[in-house]
Structure 1
Amino acid sequence: MAGITKAISVKQPWAELICLGIKDVENRTWKTKFRGRVFIHAPMHPDKTSKLSKEREEATAHIEEFHFKNSAIIGEATIVDCVQNHKSIWADKGEGIWHWVLKDTVFYNKPIENVKGRLGIWNINLEELKQNGE
């Protein structure tokens, strides 16, 4: 956790699937040149339109229980690449979709709660969060 200063907000259930090492790409409509470690933030509102395809359901069948924390930093990952047309079952297909390739994910047993997210890749100061009681 030390040294990480960037974060991305990813709606649930996708945020948890990333942190558990199941979802290996994050789908965005814009590419990023950023490579490195980021906190995974689950915003207040989940993705109510999310549906799992049969292939994706099979990939998550072994999970006994989801935690689905919101307004919290629930883990971390490393962005190692940004490509189009990734072969992952989690890569949404379509014009203009970029796949941020993620590795070395960590799911926090105790998330950092009451954190407001932002758009894009954003800066975060953990010391400030601790001082504000968040």
Structure 2
Amino acid sequence: MELDKNRIALGIKQPWAELILRGKKTIEVRSRSTNVRGTIYLYTSKKTATETYAVKAIQDHELDNCKFPLGLIVGSVEIAECRLTTPQDTVKSCLSPLELENRYAWIMKNPIRFSKPQPVRFLPYGIWFYPFCRRKESSA
């Protein structure tokens, strides 16, 4: 597998990365908007989300959280759009309407799971980071 060394990555906790790769979660909910569009890498944080709604998502989707890859690039996804969330985003975000209030919906398409998760050369320094090269100026 040939990696794009200049591609930006999004740091995200499990189970959210797993649900994105399965195509169950097509909306990533964040407190800020983003201008990033196009294909990005998905980097799984070293810790699994422990919030009640994350535990509920694990149960609802019958995931085995002991098998989640952590601290690795697990795949890629395309960010197609960013807009304010609506109550209708509950299914596509795997969240309740309460968690959607005053948030942004990052619309994700075309997830690709890597057959072998990849270690990063540079550790995350925020939500966005360059896992294989030094930081560049970006509009993230």
Gaps of 5+ in 1: 129-134
Q: What are the Cα deviations for residues 2-28 of structure 1, in whole angstroms up to 9, with x where unaligned?
A: 446110011001111111211101111
Post-superposition, which runs of at least 4 consecutive aligned residues in structure 1 deviate over 6 A? none
* 1:99 matched residue in structure 2: 105
1:51 has 2:55 as partner: yes
Q: 1:22 to 1:91 in 2, by over 3 A?
A: closer
Of the three residues 116, 129, 132, the one matched with 1:122 is 129
Gaps of 5+ in 2: 135-140
Q: How much does 1:96 deviate?
A: 2.2
Q: Distance in 1 between matches of 2:46 and 2:120?
A: 9
Q: What are the Cα deviations for residues 37-89 of structure 1, in whole angstroms up to 9, with x where unaligned?
A: 10000011110112326xx82xx35x6x5630001001110000011124331
Contact kept in structure 2, 1:71 and 1:117, CA below 8 Å: no
1:52 is paired with a residue whose SS is helix
Q: 1:91 to 1:118 in 2, by over 3 A?
A: farther
Q: How much does 1:118 deviate?
A: 3.1
Q: Distance in 1 between matches of 2:125 and 2:113?
A: 20
Give the structure with the higher percent helix.
2
Question: Counterparts in 2 of 1:65-76, with a 5 A limit?
Answer: 67-76=67-76
Contact kept in structure 2, 1:45 and 1:70, CA below 8 Å: yes
Q: Distance in 2 between matches of 1:13 and 1:101?
A: 17
User: Size of the alignment, in residue pairs?
Assistant: 121
Contact kept in structure 2, 1:84 and 1:98, CA below 8 Å: yes
Contact kept in structure 2, 1:9 and 1:118, CA below 8 Å: no
Q: Distance in 1 between matches of 2:125 and 2:94?
A: 23
Q: Distance in 1 between matches of 2:94 and 2:116?
A: 28
Report the RMSD for the aligned CA atoms in angstroms. 2.5
TM-score by length of 1: 0.76
